[in-house]
Structure 1
Amino acid sequence: MSEPVILYVCTTCRDAADSGDGPRAGARLHEALTAALAERPGANVRIEPVECLSVCKRPCTVAVASPGRWTYVYGDLDPAASAAIILDGIGLYAGTPDGIVPWRERPQEFRKGVVARLPPAPAAS
């Protein structure tokens, strides 16, 4: 089996509806993604919570990365409704050799929510 696709989830993202005493939107998205991934046995995805992806003006934010593939950062994701859509998009990403999913095949949330695309890191020499 190849290395898993890593999904980094900003757990400190907050949205306008967040109160000061409950979990932030990013933490809720992380929980929803973890639960949705548990319903997909065999999915080659590892979810990693991170403190900040520095995209605070576009919460909720995730980054998708895998060795030898482009890394994508997506924002404006709904913490309650995006988990399955994100995992579907990652499945498309994982099915490519370079991480580039044709524009029309991407979920709408990935088309409108893309923040950045970073080239693959060079192989160690």
Structure 2
Amino acid sequence: MSSDVVIFVCTSCKREGDAPDAPRAGAALGEAVAVAGPHRVQFVKCLSNCSRGPSAALVRPGGWSYVFGKLEVEGSPEALHEGAALLGASEDGTMPWNSRPDILKRQMIARIPPFDFTPAESAP
């Protein structure tokens, strides 16, 4: 169910080359994501993806989590909500690759298995 997906947005992220005292690009991204769609948005101070900010993560209980970087206020908020809907509707707890917005294909940093993950196949 998509209402279980949370979009975490790092509010302390800067863009590469931003002056130390410049407004935080992550805070602007967070504001834009909060008004762009129906999913719960949670602001966090750091996702530890500083060299590739602004960053956000999609998290679903019992499903995979996804971390994205180098996001922009233009286009990324809608893509994050679309990704949250895909993740929430997924039966296997993953976000289908082919259905994702291009931003969520190009800007993915990591995909993290759920806490109770057990592989379908044994490792080599």
Provide TM-score, normalisation by structure 2. 0.82
1:83 aligns with 2:77: yes
Q: Which moved more, 1:72-81 or 1:19-28?
A: 19-28
Unpaired runs of 5+ in structure 1?
38-42
CA distance in 2, matches of 1:12, 1:54: 10
CA distance in 1, matches of 2:99, 2:75: 19
Q: Are the aligned partners of 2:2 and 2:88 in contact in 1 as well (CA < 8 Å)? A: no
> Which residue number in structure 1 is paired with residue 34 of structure 2?
34
Give the aligned residue type for 1:74.
F
1:6 aligns with 2:6: yes
> Which residue number in structure 1 is paired with residue 90 of structure 2?
96
Q: Are the aligned partners of 2:60 and 2:87 in contact in 1 as well (CA < 8 Å)? A: no
Identity of aligned residues (%): 39
Q: Which moved more, 1:65-74 or 1:10-19?
A: 10-19
Q: Are the aligned partners of 1:7 and 1:65 in contact in 2 as well (CA < 8 Å)? A: yes
CA distance in 2, matches of 1:32, 1:18: 19
> Which residue number in structure 1 is paired with residue 68 of structure 2?
74
